[in-house]
């Protein structure tokens, strides 16, 4: 992948989740040989709503915000340099002013990847996704990585495979491209999962289908998956591929495989999506429930 604009962007706010995202992003930037940009966005102060009196803002509040932002980006830069000391010249930081999600979405237009921790500063402990990570998952204009956990590799060793969901949609093609590239750079295998039914497991005996018919369907779906992966396997001969074809809803099977993976890559919306859909139900469920980093592939 070629350098474009900011390379990889990671949102930082000083939270533990943000710190994990910075470490993961620094490693990924090194693997891809891309510059890394650390961004803190200072949100505007809302002082009043229509019909309600405004609360006076302390004179030094803006200065306090700027000091906190400076500390956040300074700590993030130190953490990124620690992960990738030879690339210090490729690690930059900036502070922006405005609504957080729209500012990061605007930056994503010139990035290869935008990264966020699953929960930011002020998110409740039980919250699955914070407002910023959820906003980016739905609206970013480039692939988006949501980082879960306290350690980027806690839920899977560095030797664990990359998992990709394949359903034949255009965004799953992009997901496959990203997944093969990530697996190749990490020197690990790839698990390609194709769930050909959205109805859940089918009891063939109860619907009076002969087992041979199920075997025929399974063989046909395996051939479809093989065809989808053929070009990528030629481009990435160093990546061993494990194919998983299942007659089940994709979410439980993806989460099951994610327990043994170090990264999950999914299209932003799959075969059931429609023009204008921001994030499909499968991607939403997996990014909320997986315990490893998830990249949502989205075409520009």
For the stretch 118-174, pLDDT in tens is 875 554 444 457 889 999 999 999 999 999 865 555 445 789 999 999 987 888 899
Q: Which of 107, 123, 147 is the last residue of a domain?
A: 147
Residues of the domain holding 136: 7-147
In a domain, residue 297? The reply is no
38 belongs to a structural domain? yes
Based on the structure, what is the number of domains in the chain? 2
Q: Is 114 found in the same domain as 184?
A: no
Q: Determine, yes or no, domain membership for 105.
A: yes
- The CATH number of whichever domain residue 263 belongs to comes to 3.40.50.12370
What pLDDT is stored for residue 216 in this prediction? 64
Q: What is the pTM of this model?
A: 0.85
What is the reported pLDDT for 3? Answer: 40
Which of these, 98, 104, 103, 86, lies nearest to 21 by C-alpha position?
104
Q: Is residue 152 part of a domain?
A: no
Identify the pLDDT of residue 213. 58
The whole-number pLDDT of residue 195 equals 83
Task: Tell me 157's DSSP state.
Answer: -
Distances (CA, A) of 88 to 10, 29, 106, 115: 15, 12, 25, 19
Query: What is the C-alpha end-to-end distance of the chain, expressed in Å?
Result: 15
69 in the same domain as 196: no
Domain end position, chosen among 102, 117, 147: 147
> Average of pLDDT values for 50-62?
68
- Averaged pLDDT for residues 199-212: 50
298 lies in some domain: no
């Amino acid at each position: 992948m070629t350098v474009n604009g900011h390379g990889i962007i990671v949102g930082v706010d000083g939270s533990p989740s943000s710190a994990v995202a910075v470490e993961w992003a620094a490693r990924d930037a090194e693997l891809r040989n891309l510059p890394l940009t650390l961004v803190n966005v200072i949100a505007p102060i809302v002082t009043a709503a229509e019909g309600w009196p405004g609360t006076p803002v302390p004179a030094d509040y803006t200065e306090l915000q700027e000091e906190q932002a400076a500390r956040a980006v300074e700590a993030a830069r130190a953490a990124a340099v620690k992960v990738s000391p030879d690339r210090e010249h490729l690690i930059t930081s900036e502070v922006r002013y405005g609504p957080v999600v729209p500012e990061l979405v605007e930056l994503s237009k010139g990035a290869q990847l935008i990264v966020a921790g699953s929960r930011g500063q002020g998110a409740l402990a039980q919250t699955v996704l914070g407002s910023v990570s959820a906003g980016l998952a739905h609206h970013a204009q480039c692939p988006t990585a949501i980082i879960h956990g306290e350690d980027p590799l806690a839920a899977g060793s560095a030797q664990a495979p990359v998992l990709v969901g394949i359903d034949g949609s255009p965004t799953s093609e992009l997901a496959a491209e990203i997944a093969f590239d990530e697996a190749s750079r990490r020197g690990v295998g790839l698990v390609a999962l194709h769930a050909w039914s959205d109805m859940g497991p089918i009891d063939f005996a109860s619907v009076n289908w002969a087992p041979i018919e199920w075997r025929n369907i399974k063989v046909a779906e395996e051939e479809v998956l093989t065809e989808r992966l053929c070009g990528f396997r030629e481009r990435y001969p160093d990546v061993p591929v494990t194919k998983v074809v299942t007659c089940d809803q994709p979410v439980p099977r993806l989460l099951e495989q994610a327990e043994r993976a170090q990264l999950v890559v999914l299209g932003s919306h799959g075969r059931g999506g429609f023009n204008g859909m921001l994030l499909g139900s499968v991607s939403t469920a997996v990014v909320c429930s997986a315990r490893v980093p998830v990249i949502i592939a989205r075409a520009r």
